[in-house]
Amino acid sequence: MPSKSSSGPKASLGLKLAALGGLLFLHVPIWIIFLYTLTPDETTFTFPLPGFTLKWFGVAMQRADLWRALTLSLQVAAVATVAALILGTLAAAAVYRSRFFGREAISFLLVLPIALPGIVSGIALRTAIGGFDIPFSFWTIVIGHATFCVVVVYNNVLARFRRMQGSQIEASMDLGANAFQTFRYVVFPNVATALLAGGMLAFALSFDEVIVTTFTAGQQTTLPIWIFSQLTRPRDRPVTNVVAMFVMLITFIPIFLAQRLSAQSSDTEGETK
Amino acid sequence: MLQRISTYLYLRPQLVLGLLLGPPLLYMLVVYLGSLFNLLVYSFYYLEEFTGLIVREFTLRTYAQIFEPANRDIFLRTAGMATAVTIVDALIAFPLAYYIAKFASARLKTWLIIAVTIPLWSSYLVRVYAWKLILAQEGILSWFINLLRLDGVLNWLLSIEAIGGSSLALSPIGLFIVFAYIWLPYMIIPIQTALERVPGSLVEAASDLGAKPLQTFRTVILPLAFPGVVAGSIFTFSLTLGDFIVPLSLGNSKFFIGQAVYSYQGTAGNIPLAAAMTMGPVLIMIVYLLIARRLGAFDAL
Amino acid sequence: MTDSSTPAIKFDQVSRHFGEVKAVDQADLEIRDGEFFSMLGPSGSGKTTCLRMIAGFDRPTYGQIYLYGQNVSDLPPYERNVNTVFQDYALFPHMNVGDNIAYGLMIKKVPKTERMRRVEEMLELVKLPGYAGRKPSQLSGGQRQRVALARALINHPRVLLLDEPLGALDLKLRQQMQVELKSIQQRVGITFIFVTHDQEEALTMSDRIALFNQGRIEQIGSPSEIYEHPASAFVAGFVGTSNLVRGEVAKRITGSEVTFSIRPEKIHLGSANELVLADSYVTDGNVRDVVYLGLYTRYLVELDGGGDLVVVEQNLKTTSMDVLKIKGQRVRLHWKKEHIREVGG
């Protein structure tokens, strides 16, 4: 990959400005939310801000409905992540180990829930659940979330399997370890960080999800659903700003960590034979 | 003991495959594909207007309803918005992608790529909400427009029937801005990847043969980067087609596909029509995924 | 139960089919206890598949495999007293050298102090004393190979399998390792089964060699047997350079049309019209090409009767200048009649 050193041609000023403009366009709106968490204004989004205050953080913390929504989001994300870890790892192991009819189709099948527009998945699930007269509940939300969380774990784990030397497993068995011991001492340590990265991505994905959730929830409110309701019928503007910032951080941090994990292990991979 | 189980399984690789593949495959087939298929079946039913009940008979009547003027408008409006968003996103994304791919030093490049993907990692919903703040009548964009004495222009824009509305936050113009913003990273990344693959030697060869920088750009770089633009545009196009959150939060009464589907299956209970309308985006995405698979995108996983 | 006459490994009509492809086709062999046995052949000839079947990573489609008299065809690798040194070494990257080597002992629940002691013993044997704390990523290719060897040997297997272990090493290191492996084998006294495609390597190290070709075993014998008495044209061509003379050309030299092979070093390069004894075959030709290789020189001689022969002679007195002058000259080739080997096809 050719990289231009400082001795190569320089970008024109116009190009640099255009690039910078694009970058700012991407980021400024996010900063604006952070800014607005400090406004004392209760009913509007007036700019410039009439003042600065931290009281809305306190108010948000008092709100029982917010705590309920947060708890629900965390619970759903936790369970969906566990399901995704199990199903995703099983699928990755199957695809890595064996050649079977329809092997390439598995990746395709697993990516569909993420690739198709959320509304399609949402309606499909809702119609099916309603059609079978299953009550909408915590579990219907989890089932919906698991469908698109599996592929995230699957990709991470499969990529790691492929980077691992297959002969390690044979070597372990050759030296006297049965399949379970081999998994414990050789496979798992190699794959652990991929599981962690995949799990964190799945968690963030589930925590932030709103489209499929609106369709598969009954009366339950997750945090994103709460924000969504504020989007259409705003009642608590300043508190919403705080919640928005909070959700942003909770989604951002696991993904960022997962990135660093994957990047880190691919660096050390290059050193071994 | 575990050893015996291990040996038993070792001699039966097919069984192991079944145990490994079974749970995830069953789950996805039953829960996901099952629901999709169910939806497809529903699209061939129809809603009896008088009783409000769904008649479970095979018919193409519901699909025919899609071509009615009201629904046709929805499709056209959504498609038009999707196209506009795609074009503008391509225009904004290209300079940034070009800079990252060709002019940034290695260190700067890493940071820039992180900078571009950070919005993707931040919550989608929150980013939409951010624009509600920005576009509010008393908000930052208004203040800025006031500052530049452009309110006249703004009001004129808002008065245009097709794209205007009562305020920025409640008009297609606002929608357009938000869509362009939200999907921008999806356009930047494929273009940047495609540009990375253009070897520097080609550019040098072109200028060696006498081409001026603009010519080189037009004849060498742009065609080679085009597949990246196409890849990105498929994202922006299909994501806009299927979205209902943005129109619901920021739009007016003129529906887009996503909203229409949402309302049809909701209070109207018209699941067949909702199902039929979703088949369009589904078809587009499946075709795209199949093409992507043929081009090897899945092998890279 | 086992005495010294029970073969370490016995293959009884072993075949391995992958669909239509016969990777191994009705292989029969017996490997003796304590011998250094090589499986030699070109890529895809089936030698690695046989090795994997002995180790247990693959199961024969037909036939039986016996390890010291016991039928092991249905035993998984962890229940066979056989250890393998892999081509890519397969060291566990997340463990240090000591833990890698001790892995087999750890599985057998050998107590830690005992493990550490035996690890150091092994490290001495492979000439890497004190390396226990290092990580595989810190080692060179040759060092990793020795760790792989130690990891296999520490379990006292009855048979050690080596899958082209020296392939990735440079020439000098490879030759050094060949000598070391041989001496370790003799010291430890266990059966070594060595897979390689390098015939020189096999000839150097082995007590006996099995030569594979397209899934079938062409010949089993000691290095000198295989070299001096090749059973087929393939063997003759694969092991050492050989000249194969057929048909008309053969008839002109020996009087019969039977194909024969003659080793290049057995041919004397004499001056034209030189007198030759009755116990030798003779033929004339022109030197078409000369390659000076320091220790010896290789000549390609175009025969009057058609075809050509490769002749190799040590440069006992000749210099490179002398040698190059011979190019283009007429020469008389002769060799003792008993040195030819008649081969079928």
Contact state of C76 with A172 under an 8 Å Cβ cutoff: no
Question: Chain C: nearest CA to B63, how far in angstroms?
Answer: 49
Other C-beta atoms closer than 10 Å to the C-beta of A230 total: 21
Please report the residues numbered 180 through 239 in chain B whose beta carbons come closer than 8 angstroms to any beta carbon of chain A: 181, 184-185, 188, 196, 199-201, 238-239
Q: Quick one: average pLDDT of B109-131?
A: 84
Q: What is the pLDDT of residue A269?
A: 45
Do C220 and C285 lie in one domain? The reply is no
Lowest average pLDDT, out of B2-11, B52-61, C218-227, C309-318, goes to: B52-61
The chains in contact with chain A, meaning 3 or more Cβ pairs closer than 8 Å, are B, C
**Is residue B67 less than 8 Å (CB to CB) from chain C?**
no
Does B5 touch chain C if contact means CB atoms closer than 8 Å?
no
pLDDT, position B100:
85
Q: How distant is the Cα of C133 from the closest Cα of chain A, in angstroms?
A: 16
Say whether pLDDT at B279 is over 50: yes
Q: Tokens 């070299």, residue?
A: C227
Q: Is A267 in CB contact (< 8 Å) with chain C?
A: no
The verdict on a CB contact (< 8 Å) between C136 and A165 is no
| The 3-state secondary structure of chain C, one letter per residue | CCCCCCCCEEEEEEEEEECCEEEEEEEEEEECCCCEEEEECCCCCCHHHHHHHHHCCCCCCEEEEEECCEECCCCCHHHCCEEEECCCCCCCCCCCHHHHHHHHHHHCCCCHHHHHHHHHHHHHHCCCCCHHHCCHHHCCHHHHHHHHHHHHHCCCCCEEEEECCCCCCCHHHHHHHHHHHHHHHHHHCCEEEEEECCHHHHHHHCCEEEEEECCEEEEEECHHHHHHCCCCHHHHHHCCCCEEECHHHHHHHHCCCCCEEECHHHCEEEECCCCCCCCEEEEEEEEEEEEECCCEEEEEEEECCCCEEEEEEECCCCCHHHHHHCCCCEEEEEEEHHHCEECCC
**CATH code, domain with B194:** 1.10.3720.10
Q: Name which of C78, C108, C151 is nearest A173 (Cβ-Cβ).
A: C78
Residue A265 confidence class, pLDDT cut points 50, 70, 90: low
Q: pLDDT tens digit string along A44-78?
A: 777 777 778 788 788 888 888 888 999 999 999 99
Assess if residue B295 is contained within a domain.
Answer: no
Q: What are phi and psi of B105, to 5 degrees?
A: -70, 165
Predicted ipTM of the assembly:
0.80
What pLDDT sits at residue C91? 94
* Within-domain flag for B151: no
Name every chain A residue with its beta carbon within 8 A of the beta carbon of C93.
Answer: 190, 268, 272
CA distance C74 to B263: 63
pLDDT score at B88: 92
Q: Which residues face C155 on adjacent strands?
A: none
Q: Do C84 and A186 touch (CB under 8 A)?
A: no
Note whether A88 contacts B243, CB cutoff 8 Å.
no
C17 DSSP β-pair partners: C22
- C103 neighbourhood in chain A, CB within 8 Å: 172, 175, 177, 185
What number is the average pLDDT over the span B202-221? 81
What pLDDT is recorded for position A4?
Answer: 38
Asked if C155 lies within 8 A of A175 by C-beta distance, the reply is yes
For residue B78, what pLDDT is reported? 85
Of all residues in chain C, the one with the smallest CA distance to A167 is C90
Q: Give the distance from residue C250's alpha carbon to the nearest chain B alpha carbon, in angstroms.
A: 55
- Residue B138: the pLDDT is 76
Predicted confidence (pLDDT) at residue B55 exceeds the cutoff of 60: yes
Total domain count, chain C: 2
Share above pLDDT 90 across residues of chain A, in percent, rounded to a whole number: 26
H/E run at residue A16: helix A13-36
Give yes or no: residues C107 and C222 share one domain: yes
Return the closest-CA partner of residue A72 out of A84, A80, A60: A80
Inter-chain CB proximity A175 and C83 less than 8 Å: yes
Mean pLDDT of the region B263-277? 79
Q: How far apart are CA C146 and CA C173, in angstroms?
A: 12
The C-alpha atoms of residue B127 and residue A27 are separated, in whole angstroms, by: 10
Give pLDDT, residue A6. 37
CATH number of the domain where residue C269 is located: 2.40.50.140
Interchain proximity A170–C155, CB inside 8 Å? no
The answer, yes or no, to whether residue A268 has pLDDT greater than 60, is no
For chain A, strand residue ranges (E) read none
Q: Tell whether B92 is within 8 A of chain A (Cβ).
A: yes
Check if the beta carbon of residue A145 is closer than 8 Å to that of residue A213.
yes
SS3 of A44, please? coil
A-chain CB neighbours of B249 within 8 Å are 228, 231-232
> Of the segments A190-194, B103-107, B293-297, which one has the largest average pLDDT value?
A190-194
Please check whether residue C343 lies inside any domain of the structure.
no
Cα–Cα nearest to B286, from B250, B246, B225, B242: B242
Q: Which domain holds residue C329?
A: 265-335
| Smallest Cα distance from C62 to chain A, Å | 22
Q: Which residues does chain A have within 8 Å of residue B243's beta carbon, measured at their own beta carbons? A: 117, 119
Nearest to A176 among C87, C107, C144 (CB): C107
Which of C238, C257, C284 is at the close of a domain? Answer: C238
Q: Are C210 and C39 in contact (CB under 8 A)?
A: yes
Judged by CB atoms within 8 Å, which residues 186-215 of A form the interface with B? Answer: 204, 208, 210-211
The reply to whether residue C57 touches residue A170, judged by beta carbons under 8 angstroms, is: yes
Chain A residues in contact with B199 (beta carbon < 8 A)? 2
Give the model's pLDDT for residue B263. Answer: 79
Q: Which of A94, A119, A159 sits opposite B242 (nearest CB)?
A: A119
The owner of tokens 């000023």 is: A13
Question: Who contacts A162 (Cβ-Cβ below 8 Å, separation ≥6)?
Answer: A96
Distance from CA of A193 to the nearest CA of C (A): 12
Chain C positions touching A176 (Cβ under 8 A) are: 78, 104, 107-108, 155
Give yes or no: residues C39 and C183 share one domain: yes
Q: Do B6 and C74 touch (CB under 8 A)?
A: no
Quote the CA–CA distance of A242 and A247 in Å, as a whole number: 9
- In this complex, is the C-beta atom of B38 within 8 Å of any C-beta atom belonging to chain C? no
- Is some CB atom of chain B closer than 8 A to the CB atom of A76? no
Does A173 reach chain C within 8 Å, measured CB to CB? yes
Contact call for C79 and B11, based on CB within 8 A? no
Are the beta carbons of A165 and C90 separated by less than 8 Å? yes
| Tokens 């928005």, located at residue | A244
> Which of A167, A173, A175, A180 would best serve as a mutation to test chain C binding (most C beta carbons within 10 A)?
A175
Domain residue spans in chain A? 20-53, 56-266
Position A233 scores a pLDDT of 75
Cβ atoms of B185 and B118 closer than 8 Å: no
Task: Answer whether C86 sits within 8 Å of A170, measured CB to CB.
Answer: yes
Q: How far is it, in rounded angstroms, from Cα B239 to Cα B128?
A: 14
Q: Say if strands C243-245 and C260-262 run parallel, antiparallel, or are unpaired.
A: antiparallel
- Taking phi over 0 as left and psi of -120 to 50 as alpha, with beta for the rest, C312 belongs to beta
Q: How far is C151 from chain A (nearest CA, A)?
A: 8
Who has greater pLDDT, B194 or A85?
A85
Give the three-class secondary structure for A234.
Answer: coil
Specify the residue for token string 């030798």. Answer: C280
Are B28 and A90 an interchain contact pair (Cβ–Cβ within 8 Å)?
no
Q: Based on the fold, state whether residues C27 and C163 are members of the same structural domain.
A: yes
CA distance A272 to chain C (A): 5
How far off is chain B from A91, nearest CA to CA, in Å? Answer: 5
Q: What is the mean pLDDT of each run of 10 residues along chain C (345 residues)?
A: 74 91 92 94 91 93 93 91 93 94 94 94 92 92 92 94 89 88 90 92 92 93 88 83 82 84 88 86 90 87 87 84 84 88 69
Instruction: Find the helix or strand (DSSP H, E) in which B54 lies.
Output: strand B54-55
Q: How many CB pairs under 8 A join A and B?
A: 280
C59 with C189, same domain: the answer is yes
- CA–CA separation, C190 and C181 (whole Å): 12
- Of C238, C273, C294, the residue at which a domain comes to its end is C238
Q: Can you tell me the distance from the alpha carbon of B153 to that of B130, in angstroms, rounded to the nearest whole number? A: 24
Interface test with A, best of B19, B100, B126, B284 (most A CBs within 10 A): B126
Shortest Cα–Cα distance, B237 to chain A (Å): 11
Q: Which residue has the higher pLDDT, B194 or C75?
A: C75
Residues C193 and C273 in one domain: no
CB A92 within 8 A of CB B21: no
Same domain for C130 and C68, yes or no, is: yes
Q: How far is CA B204 from CA A56, B213, B228, C183, C248, in A?
A: 58, 10, 22, 59, 62
Q: What is the pLDDT of residue C173?
A: 87
Q: Which CA distances in Å does C84 have to A137, B55, C179, C194?
A: 55, 68, 19, 10
Burial (CB count <10 Å: 0-12, 13-18, 19+), residue B49: exposed
Measuring CA to CA, which residue among A160, A155, A187 is closest to residue A171?
A187
C208 in a structural domain: yes
Asked if residue C248 is part of any domain, the answer here is no
Closest CB to A171 among C86, C108, C155 = C86
C-beta atoms of B112 and A10 within 8 A = no
How far C104 CA lies from chain A's nearest CA (Å)? 5
Q: Which pLDDT score, from 0 to 100, does residue A273 have?
A: 36
Q: Which residue of B has its CA nearest to A200?
A: B121
- Which CATH number goes with the domain that contains C223? 3.40.50.300
The CATH code of domain A56-266 reads 1.10.3720.10
Q: Does B147 touch chain C (CB under 8 A)?
A: no
Q: Which residues contact B74 (CB under 8 A, 6 or more apart)?
A: B255, B256, B257, B260
Q: Which two tokens stand for residue C102?
A: 């001790």
Q: Are residues C144 and C272 in the same domain?
A: no
pTM of the model: 0.80
Is residue B112 situated within a structural domain?
A: yes
Per the CB < 8 A criterion, the answer to whether B136 and A44 are in contact is yes
Q: Verify whether the Cβ–Cβ distance A273 to C144 is below 8 Å.
A: yes
Does residue A149 register a pLDDT over 90? yes
Mean pLDDT for the stretch of residues A17-32: 87
State which residues form the domain around B252.
70-137+179-269
- What is the number of structural domains in chain B? 1
Q: How far apart (Å, rounded) are the C-alpha atoms in residues C304 and C281? A: 15
Determine whether the interchain pair B293/A116 forms a contact, defined as Cβ–Cβ distance below 8 Å. no
Residues forming a β-bridge with C27 = C14
